[in-house]
Amino acid sequence: MGEPIPDIIEAQELKKIFGDVIAVDGIGFTVKKGEVFGFLGPNGAGKTSTMKIIACVSPRTSGAVRVLGMDPDIHPAEIKQQLGVVPQETNLDPDFTCYGNLFTYARYFDIPPNIAHQKAEELLEFVQLQEKRDVSVEKLSGGMKRRLILARALINNPDLLILDEPTIGLDPQARHLIWERLKTLQSQGNTIVLTTHYLDEAARLCDRLVIMDNGKILVEGSPADLVKQYVGNEVVEVEKTEEVLSCLSGKNISFEVIGDSVQIATGSSREVIRILFDQCSPHKVLTRPATLEDVFLKLTGRKLRE
Amino acid sequence: MIMHNIWSVPRISRRAWKVWHRNLVVFFRTWKVNFFPPLIEAFLYLFAIGMGIGTYVKEIDGIPYINFIAPAILAIAVMNSAFFECTYGSYVRMYYQKSFDAMIATPLSIEDVIAGELLWGATRSVIYVIIMLPVLAAFGVISFPASLLAIPLAFLGGLMFGGIAMCFTAITPSIDTLNYPSFLLITPMALFSGTFFPLTLLPELFQYIALALLPLTHLVAIMRMLTLPAMTGMLILHLAWIIMVTAIFCIVAINLMRRRLIV
């Protein structure tokens, strides 16, 4: 047997407390080399706090964490030298052009000018911003800014890419381009950790993910396994009527009422539909595959988060 | 977790110069905007105060009035350039541009970033003095070569006012509240630090207050010793005062900024 590949991130009992708010409440997880690992959760779940601890910009309150085999409290510069970070907030340097942003950022990593130049040109092409090379970043659209931030995060060939809401506020075209680029990076063996609110994004990109709420990890697994385990294969949606409700209750079929529709998660929709049509006289019926969104809402509830 | 006291000496690496370099690049790219203010400022003071008031006040302590205020023009420029760079300039980069957040995602630490900002504030003071010296020399109101020492002095003075400024930046709730130190500290200091009239004209108590509390007093005093030139042993005391205050404020500024930005 060869040497075991060390985990890229290992965290145990990780805690972050701000005043009297427990943002991260004793979580543990590991991220393996080459995987795309997602953190999902409602606002205030503790995702960004966790990201900041990993990115060595916010010290943990307690617990243990190792990033690339090192402790963020002890070796922040060494860890950050090998990280690429896409923050939630756009923080490009408005005093520079697109190229200037990449080139200047490369200096912070001690990358020699000739290599920085070459890498900046390559990355502008990678995120399709060659035409905007000499344009001030203030003139870019939201999607272009996010793409440039992704390029900036790659300037040092990072061993670990940390993305906090990478496609927030983007139009579908821009989101798809970012997804495509992340897929490319993944296929090249990059390790990626991301947070997102978009569950389709998580399902599409993540090999493994955790769903967090109130600073704790609720579940961990691959998107497909989580869906199967917590919801089932399919969801049957029926228009809400008194008849349907009393009928389902009578049959001991568990369901959830959302607005004016009734949702029944099931392993086999056929059975449920047969019962519905035979005995409940439903109006509109719709069958769809179960998604991560169903798991998410089931676990974190439907109450609005601020 | 490592506790950070505001008096503890921060660990700064040579990476601080990268932040300094970034600001330098931006400054020189917009040099046309940046080079004129100190040039104009030097002329304005020389004409309005030197030649205007100087017509009535011929001499102070046997020194031509315009020669008396020339070092004050330099000292005030040192103060203003570093102070405004490390208040409004740094605040904009920190709060509006989020540049510090972007930088600390790289191997730079927050200590490096703030140290780089302070070094840049001091450098800006140096640049202003370098631009003003030829103007003052052309008017024949300063002597060489001693006045060339105003350049390294500008760096030290700039670091002092940058450090003071950064402390305000670290605690200010918004950019508007930075107006308070500007009007309540900087403007009175520019008038009452032995700049346009000798400190000895003030009531004795105020003289002591000025010497004890107004950093500009010491900077003007040394600057005047250099440009007249008229050096005395007091130079060492003034210099010691400035070095001590610079060290204290720069250390506290970095720790306060860490406290503000690293949570």
Instruction: Establish if A2 belongs to a structural domain.
Output: no
- Interface contact B106-A105, CB threshold 8 A: yes
Place of tokens 């002890």: A74
Same domain for A159 and A264, yes or no, is: no
Same domain for A13 and A134, yes or no, is: yes
Quick one: pLDDT band at residue A262, thresholds 50, 70, 90? confident
Please state, as a whole number, how many other Cβ atoms lie within 10 Å of the Cβ of residue A154.
21
Q: What is the pLDDT of residue B1?
A: 39
B11 close to A (CB below 8 A): no
Q: What is the mean pLDDT of residues A173-200?
A: 90
Instruction: Establish if A305 belongs to a structural domain.
Output: no
Q: B76 with A43: CB under 8 angstroms? A: no
Intra-chain end-to-end CA distance of chain A, in Å: 50
Please report, for the domain that includes residue A271, its CATH number.
3.30.70.260
A55 close to B (CB below 8 A): yes
Rg (CA), chain A: 23
Quick one: pLDDT band at residue B30, thresholds 50, 70, 90? confident
**pLDDT one-digit tens code per residue, A88-124:** 989 999 999 999 999 999 999 999 999 999 999 999 9
Closest-CA distance, B252 to chain A, in angstroms, reads 20
**Helix (H), strand (E), coil (C) string for A225-240:** HHHHHHCCCEEEEEEC
Q: B97 CB contacts (<8 Å, ≥6 apart)?
A: A91, A93, A94, A95
Quick one: pLDDT band at residue A206, thresholds 50, 70, 90? very high
B residues 44-63 lying closer than 8 A (beta carbon) to A = none
Same domain for A139 and A172, yes or no, is: yes
- Interface contact A91-B102, CB threshold 8 A: yes
Q: What is the mean pLDDT of residues B237-252?
A: 97
- Interface contact A91-B101, CB threshold 8 A: yes
Locate all alpha helices (DSSP H) within A194-250, ordered by sequence. Answer: 199-205, 223-230, 242-250
Compute the distance between CA of residue A17 and CA of residue A61 in angstroms, rounded to an integer.
Answer: 6
Which residues on A lie below 8 Å from B15 (Cβ)? 77, 108
Percent of chain A with pLDDT over 70: 97
Most confidently predicted of A143-147, A171-175, A293-297? A143-147
A87 close to B (CB below 8 A): yes
Compute the distance between CA of residue A262 and CA of residue A243 in angstroms, rounded to an integer.
Answer: 12
Q: Which of A200, A222, A244 is the last residue of a domain?
A: A222
Q: B162 CB contacts (<8 Å, ≥6 apart)?
A: B82, B83, B85, B86, B117, B118, B121, B122, B125, B250, B253
Token pair of B92 as six digits = 């904009």
Point out the residue among B18, B103, B105 whose CB comes nearest to the CB of A55: B105
Q: What is the mean pLDDT of residues A39-66?
A: 94
Q: A244 with A262: CB under 8 angstroms? A: yes
- Interface contact A77-B13, CB threshold 8 A: yes
A212 DSSP β-pair partners: A217
- Interface contact B102-A107, CB threshold 8 A: no
**What is the span of the domain harbouring residue A251?**
233-289
Q: What is the mean pLDDT of residues A148-167?
A: 94
- Interface contact A87-B105, CB threshold 8 A: yes
Closest-CA distance, B106 to chain A, in angstroms, reads 5
| pTM of the model as a whole | 0.91
Instruction: Establish if A206 belongs to a structural domain.
Output: yes
Q: What is the pLDDT of residue B41?
A: 83
B34 or A116: whose pLDDT is higher?
A: A116
Q: What is the pLDDT of residue A302?
A: 67
**pLDDT one-digit tens code per residue, B82-118:** 999 999 999 999 999 999 999 999 999 999 999 999 9
**pLDDT exceeds 60 at position B13:** yes
Q: B140 CB contacts (<8 Å, ≥6 apart)?
A: none
Please state, as a whole number, how many other Cβ atoms lie within 10 Å of the Cβ of residue B56.
7
Q: What is the mean pLDDT of residues A242-263?
A: 83
Q: What is the pLDDT of residue A239?
A: 87
Q: What is the pLDDT of residue B2?
A: 46
Query: Of A57, A78, A88, A108, which to mutate for an interface test with B (greatest number of B Cβ within 10 Å)?
Result: A108
Same domain for A36 and A145, yes or no, is: yes
Point out the residue among B15, B98, B263 whose CB comes nearest to the CB of A91: B98
Helix (H, G, I), strand (E, B) or coil at A8: coil
Locate all alpha helices (DSSP H) within chain B, ordered by sequence. Answer: 16-29, 31-45, 54-56, 65-84, 90-91, 99-104, 110-138, 150-171, 179-181, 187-192, 204-213, 215-227, 234-261
Rg (CA), chain B: 19
A72 close to B (CB below 8 A): no
Helix (H, G, I), strand (E, B) or coil at A67: strand
B195 close to A (CB below 8 A): no
B residues 95-114 lying closer than 8 A (beta carbon) to A = 97-99, 101-109
Give Cα separations from A38 to A164, A232, B7 (angstroms).
10, 21, 40
Q: What is the pLDDT of residue A274?
A: 85
Average pLDDT, chain B: 93
**pLDDT exceeds 60 at position A138:** yes
Percent of chain B with pLDDT over 70: 98
Helix (H, G, I), strand (E, B) or coil at B164: helix
**pLDDT exceeds 60 at position A1:** no
Please report, for the domain that includes residue A149, its CATH number.
3.40.50.300
Same domain for A211 and A273, yes or no, is: no
Same domain for A131 and A256, yes or no, is: no
Compute the distance between CA of residue B97 and CA of residue B110 in angstroms, rounded to an integer.
Answer: 16
Same domain for A218 and A237, yes or no, is: no
Instruction: Establish if A301 belongs to a structural domain.
Output: no
A20 close to B (CB below 8 A): no
Same domain for A238 and A156, yes or no, is: no
Point out the residue among A95, A105, A109 whose CB comes nearest to the CB of B26: A95
Instruction: Establish if A304 belongs to a structural domain.
Output: no
Quick one: pLDDT band at residue B140, thresholds 50, 70, 90? very high
Place of tokens 């200037």: A100
Number of domains in chain A: 2
A-B C-beta contacts closer than 8 Å: 69
Average pLDDT, chain A: 90
Q: What is the pLDDT of residue A55?
A: 96
Instruction: Establish if A3 belongs to a structural domain.
Output: no
Same domain for A248 and A208, yes or no, is: no
- Interface contact B263-A18, CB threshold 8 A: yes
Instruction: Establish if A306 belongs to a structural domain.
Output: no
Q: What is the pLDDT of residue A280?
A: 81
Same domain for A167 and A246, yes or no, is: no
- Interface contact A80-B105, CB threshold 8 A: yes
Compute the distance between CA of residue A236 and CA of residue A274 in angstroms, rounded to an integer.
Answer: 11
B253 or A200: whose pLDDT is higher?
A: B253
Which residues on B lie below 8 Å from A91 (Cβ)? 97-99, 101-102
Token pair of A235 as six digits = 């969801």
Least confident segment among A218-227, A247-256, B20-29, B200-209: A247-256
Q: Which of A192, A222, A252 is the last residue of a domain?
A: A222
Q: Residue B62: which region, alpha, beta or left (left: phi > 0; alpha: psi -120 to 50)?
A: left
ipTM of the prediction: 0.89
Query: Of B18, B29, B103, B106, which to mutate for an interface test with A (greatest number of A Cβ within 10 Å)?
Result: B106
B38 or A46: whose pLDDT is higher?
A: A46
Half-sphere exposure of B11 (CA within 13 A, CB side): 7
